Amino acid sequence: EEKLKDKPGYEHLKEPLHLLVEAEFPEDIINSRLDHAVAVLENLLKPVDESLDHYKKQQLRELAMINGTLREESPSMSPSMSPSMSPFNSNGMKRAKTGR
């Protein structure tokens, strides 16, 4: 962004972040809705631990779908899977004879 600031069409990058809201309602309704909007926006602008960032997870999932790179969770990745379903279960698996 620093490199683009001085180029035509990118003048807005020199301005502090802002939001313009226009409305044609009675003043008390506008003030009430603006107060609510400010609260919502302030909440969205707070940094969130990535493991709890549901918006980011959903956006990354949608992007993977668009790019065709979405990998659905397989049952083997599910923490609730029973041990009998595990691909690493030894039932039915035979060990190679080593002569011991």
Q: What is the pLDDT of residue 25?
A: 94
The answer, yes or no, to whether residue 13 has pLDDT greater than 90, is: no
How far apart are alpha carbons 18 and 16 in whole angstroms?
6
Which residues, other chains included, contact 11 with Cβ-Cβ below 8 Å and sequence gap of 6+?
Answer: 5
pLDDT at 75: 54
Per-residue pLDDT reduced to its tens digit, 78-89: 454 444 444 444
The structure's pTM equals 0.39
Report the candidate in 12, 42, 37, 9 with the shortest Cα–Cα distance to residue 22. Answer: 37
User: How far are the Cα atoms of 37, 46, 65 from residue 21, in angstroms, in the given order?
Assistant: 10, 21, 33
